[in-house]
Structure 1
Amino acid sequence: MSVHKTACAAGLAIALLFTSGSHAATEAADADADARAGKTLHLFLSTSETGLDPAVASDIASLNLMENVFDPLLRYDYLARPVKLQGNTARGLPKVEDGGRSYTFQLQPGIFFTPDPAFKGKPREVTAQDYVYSLTRLYDPNLKSPWLFLLEDKLVGDAALKARFSYDTPIAGLQALDKYTLRIRLNGVDPNFLFYLAMPATGVVAREVAEAYPAAGQFGNHPVGTGPFMIKEWKRSDKIVLQANPTFRKSLFHTEPAALATLPPADQAIATALEGRQLPLVQRIEVRIVEEYQSRMLGFLKGEFDYLEQVPESLTDMVLVHGKLKPELATKGITLDRFPVLQTYYMWMNMEDPVLGGYTRDKLALRRAIALSYNSREDIALLKKGLALPAQSPLPPNVLGYDKDYRSPVGYDPALARALLDRYGYKLGADGFRHQPDGTPLILSMHTEANMVGRLRDELWRRNLNAIGLRVEFKSDKKTEIIKASRLGKVQMFETNWVADFPDGDNFMQLLYGGNVGRANYARFNLPDYNKRYEEARLLSDTPRRRSLYFDMSQLIHAYTPWVLLTHPISADLQQPWLKNYRRHPVEFTSWRYLDVDMTRGRPAGK
């Protein structure tokens, strides 16, 4: 659908109101617009978006878009490695007091929401109270926010919001001290708290807009933010067009000389090219939803997309030979970069499912047998073409808490899997498949994505499970629909992945915390021993004590097997010769505001 065709004109009409009004400011704004004019990024997302409401959406496609439309208080330095936070709408990092339990932010004045009828024709400036409202939305029981775990039981006084929710209930943990000063107070120290304030989920929204579109999901269809881009066109599950926000605040890229000197040469070149430039650098972004792997690859090779992250494992032969970019592609100026993604692939099993859920020994044996049937070596060599590491624990390399020496006690062992099933009464029938201990048929149900890679993975699982006498049926659907059903406990098994929202092990260990059942804990795992350790660990930084707790938690995961741990991908990323300043970030989803297009470098006509 088209979103406010008049928004662009209205935004341009009031743009000068959002600046100092000086002739110099006007000239600068015109120069920025001239530099962006005619520049369009052509990108794709691999799954359909669900809706652009920061408090509600958690799918990758929606997060990619929201990151460019809405503004959290903080964001990541684009090029700093290890990753580093910096101010976004806040003037800088907060003042931290009370032993790490109190954060005071100073907002930049002059940040405005994009125009919307809810503002009745007036420019609407962002205030500290807007952040109070936006963070309070995560507690709204009507929204069922999957991000509530970021704040729940952490903000001082938030019990009042959970007991009887109201947007007008003040709490001591979330206060606007004045128009531009926000104070957040915590019950206890949370080493990762500032990371949360750089996530799309904590982006600022306007109460007037949310209340103007109160129906379920309606606000997510009507995004009004303060970010570098705004939605111009939106055809659901097909095409989204973003345009540069004409009222976007002054946002000049800068790297301190000392930091510049520590960057590798390629990043130094990017920093130098970006220095002093007003972001964003392009006028328009055209985003297509392309769920089929082959369509993405062919589209990139035809020049329809400016970059391709994570070459599909099944199609690596189209672009790589002996692990290197094919010469004919290199000759065209296409480049390849290998990127260790902060990501874990796993197959979860519903712990409340009557067939394989529960904590009794027979159910544990069934899940353990399923895990023992998984052939990691075959998966990595044949399906992932070597572009992955076997997952030993939920934590991928390079997140805080990762233990490079930890090894899973559960490996590929179909003989042991068969012995376990025999011992606990899952006997083979005349048809070669096993029955449940009570003699009834045993049929596993695995949801799967309806694409080529989904079908290849189905065959891997079918072969693995059939080899130990387990029959499995596959149910194909869109990933967004599977996730919705998963949160309701209506999916038995599904292979998925988790990409780090912030670079700490807590972001992965929380996926099996009992308090997150119905949210990101799709396995509905609720084990007191795990919960107790998680609750202690989440209050600790990356210390020896936390690493000891993580070891115990990993052992419990392997003992009860709510997950089959699969792989950590190594992404093979491709970019076109005309794309400038591209550098993939370990945590942020996109780099769109930093990207530029060299109009002289041979983009295909009409692209």
Structure 2
Amino acid sequence: MKRFLRLALAGLAALGLATAQAGETKTEAKTFRYAYRVAETGFDPIAVSDLYSRGVTAHIFEAPYTYDHLARPVKIVPLVADGMPTVSSDYKQFSVRIKPGIYFADDPAFKGQRRELTAADFVYSIKRFADPANKAQAWTQIEELGLVGLNELHRRVIERKQPFPYDEPVAGLYASDRYTVQVQTKQPRPRLIESLFTGNDLLGAVAREVVETYGDQISAHPVGTGPFKLVEWRRSSQMVFERNPGYRERHYDAQPPADDAQGQAWLAKFKGRRIPMVDRVVIDVVVEDQPRWLAFLNNEHDFIERVPEAFITQAAPGRKLAPNLAKRGMRAEFSVAPDMTLTIYNMEDPVVGGYTPDKVALRRALSLAYDVRKEIRISRRGTAVPAQALVVPHSLAFDASLKTENSEYNPAKARALLDLYGYVDKDGDGWRDLPDGSPLVINRKTEADALSRSVDEIWDQALRAIGIKLVLKVAPWPDNLKAVQSGNFQTWKVGSFADSPDSQGNLQRVYGPAKGTANLARIQMDEIDRLFERTSPMPDGPERNALLQQAWRLVVAYAPYKVHVHRLLTDIEQPWMTGYRRPVFWLDFWQYIDIDPARQPHSSQR
């Protein structure tokens, strides 16, 4: 009864959100509901690195540029920018013009005044990444761009242990007038616009007044210029968002390829409609696969993102929607993710870390012992392909023909490597020991969900087969992330989605200055760092790709990561939902989908 009353009241509240758009008549609010498989961590762009929190911030904040959600290959288009940027011929000077008349969502921090978005907001938002006190997850991404004066300011603040001087002018980052952002770099940066000004989740503008008002509670008070605002948050349980009532008049448009029948159909159906088209979004956090799948089948959710591997044969055998679901009017979206899954080895750990031949041999032996194809067959039910290196599908330098030792399964070679470097059973207990005679135990951080349990079992079997003991340490995903970022781990597994077509972004995983952020393995190799820095100013092309592949092969050789798979994803929408296309290098999509309340189950059933 309480659940019925709560849902009924929520439904009544949502009705108050309904507003008539030009040419439309609405009698009922549109609520879009789905589930996350992992809990969020917070909603301050500088503090988030996980996919799930960034999936929220992408709908609240806005960067100057975004990606056309239907264009393939992907295409950058203006969002709050007034046209494409002005770029110097040497790729060192960039000018971005912001459209006048765009406003932040109303918030008490603005003291009852409408707050217009200006160029200064982007300058401030970028400076927040450079403030050492914020420990920003993406600082190394911005640091590597080499904006004139910004890195030096960052270092000076650290050395002098002083507060960050946000009002101090920076030669390479400033507002030349109310609506124009100017950037100057030390070296050519051909991809600066996608690195610094594209991507709402991290690079959207925040208002200084909001940050100063909420202080250390800013992660619970996201205020942006985007189409949605957070109205309710029960941590690790549920998030509720409403249409931003002050959102500017923006209309559906896209450029799908001529041969994309579904994309062309959506363009014909929605072109000119004001977005967002839904009034309310509710995200439940449902960690276990079975309840999440059943909630979708029982019409409690309008959409299931990434059908759980355990149920893929029921949902879409042979990458085709099951007849019983098709009969109900559902639609499946199949895609190859621009992602990779990884086992991370802490390069500073005394057991699995280090660069000497015996340590490298241990990590390579662990990887050789693991059967990725067994994981694909058993744990993932065929929904993945083996990965070869730190490069993902859809990125510019991805080579589907590349084959490396990373995907090799060879227990005999693993045992031979261990024997050669002295990892043998010295005390007769049946388990291998370290060369100095102390016990060899691999500690793996993990989570309690079904997929993790299945993959962990394969790891346990693999290591047992070569005489190594595995100990699993189970904790919630956000807790594990914090521990790994601080270096308090030995091994962990994680998935990684690319947020840019540029393959170099993946090399942040092994770039020394990115330790503790993108570089979770905490690897530090001068040769890899030099390759990273050498490729940054280079234009796209075969020469640059060759250097990137050289770096990836070094990563395979030193094995700070075991790259497992690239995932084949299946998303399914209910018959009353339409318009979904899985994002590639971006995370926002709520504004492009529509819900038909007349076909949607009544709120009392949801």
1:342 — aligned with what?
338
Report deviation, 1:263: 4.9
SS in 2 for 1:456: helix
With 294-303 and 92-101 compared, the bigger mean Cα shift is at 92-101
Shift of 1:205: 0.7
Q: 2:161 — aligned with what?
A: none
Write the mapping of 1:408-487 to structure 2, written as runs, cut at 5 A: 408-410=404-406, 411-428=408-425, 429-487=427-485
CA displacement at 1:192 relative to structure 2: 2.5
Q: Which moved more, 1:159-168 or 1:129-138?
A: 159-168
Paired residue for 1:377? 373
Q: Match for 1:392: what amino acid?
A: Q
**Structure-to-structure mapping, 1:165-564, within 5 angstroms:** 165-196=164-195, 197-199=197-199, 200-215=201-216, 218-255=217-254, 259=255, 262-410=258-406, 411-428=408-425, 429-564=427-562
Cα distance, 1:142 vs. partner?
0.8
SS at match of 1:542: coil
- From 103, 122, 129, the equivalent of 1:112 is 103
Distance 1:320 1:244 in 2: 33
8 Å contact kept, 2:28–2:597: no
- Which shows bigger deviation, 70-79 or 539-548? 539-548
Counterpart of 1:231 in 2: which secondary structure?
Answer: strand
Q: Any conservation in 2 of the 1:209–1:224 contact (CA below 8 Å)?
A: yes
TM-score w.r.t. the length of structure 1 is 0.92
Partner Cα distance (1:37, 1:246) in 2:
16
Structure 1 match to 2:155 = 162
Cα deviations across residues 280-339 of structure 1 (Å, max 9, x unaligned)? 001111111111111211111111222222222222233234443321111111122320
Q: Which moved more, 1:370-379 or 1:309-318?
A: 309-318
Residues of 2 paired with 1:98 and 1:161: CA distance?
28
CA contact (8 A) 1:434 1:442 kept: yes
Q: Is the 8 A contact 2:68 2:74 kept in 1?
A: yes
Q: Distance in 2 between the 1:151 and 1:163 partners?
A: 17
Comparing 167-176 with 34-43, greater Cα deviation is found at 34-43
**Distance in structure 1 (CA, Å) of the matches to 2:463 and 2:115:** 58
Alignment correspondent of 1:144: 135
Q: Report how far residue 89 of structure 1 moved.
A: 1.1
Q: Secondary structure at the match of 1:325?
A: coil
Residue identity matched to 2:517: R
Closer, same or farther: CA 74–261 of 1 in aligned 2, 3 Å: closer
Q: Structure 1 residues 29 and 600 mapped into 2: Cα distance closer, same or farther (>3 Å)?
A: closer
- What root-mean-square deviation, in Å, do the aligned CA atoms of Structure 1 and Structure 2 show? 1.9
- Name the stretch that deviates more: 200-209 or 182-191: 182-191
Count of paired positions: 578
Q: Distance in 2 between matches of 1:481 and 1:202?
A: 25
For 2:139 and 2:24, locate their aligned partners in 1 and report how far apart those are by CA, in whole Å.
Answer: 39
Q: 1:95 to 1:308 in 2, by over 3 A?
A: same
CA distance in 1 between partners of 2:490 and 2:464 (Å) = 18
Alpha-carbon shift at residue 409 of structure 1 (Å): 2.7
SS in 1 for 2:251: coil
- Cross-structure match for 1:82: 73
Shift of 1:253: 1.8
Give how far 1:191 is off.
2.9
Structure 2, unmatched stretches of 5+, are: 1-12, 158-163
> 1:37·1:283 contact (CA, 8 Å) conserved in 2?
no
Q: Which moved more, 1:145-154 or 1:417-426?
A: 145-154
Deviation sequence 1:202-231 (CA, Å, 0-9, x none): 11111111111223xx11111111110011
SS at match of 2:496: strand
Residues 469 and 327 of structure 1: CA distance in aligned 2, closer, same or farther (over 3 Å): same
How far off is 1:266 after superposition?
0.8
- Percent identical pairs in the alignment equals 37
Q: How far apart are residue 52 of structure 1 and its match?
A: 0.7
Taking the aligned partners of 2:166 and 2:89, their CA distance within structure 1 comes to 27
Secondary structure of the 1:481 match is helix
- In the alignment, is the contact (CA less than 8 A) between 2:333 and 2:582 conserved in 1? no
Which residue of structure 2 lines up, in the alignment, with residue 99 of structure 1? 90
Instruction: Rate the CA distance shift 1:35–1:600 in 2: closer, same or farther, 3 A.
Output: closer
Q: Distance in 1 between matches of 2:414 and 2:275?
A: 56
- In 2, the alpha carbon distance for the partners of 1:572 and 1:60 equals 17
Q: What secondary structure is seen at the aligned counterpart in 2 of 1:151?
A: helix
> Structure 1 counterpart of 2:223, which letter?
V
Distance 1:71 1:34, change over 3 A: farther
1:363 is displaced (CA, Å) by: 1.0
Question: Deviation string for 1:357-387 (max 9, x for gaps)?
Answer: 1111111111110011110221111111111
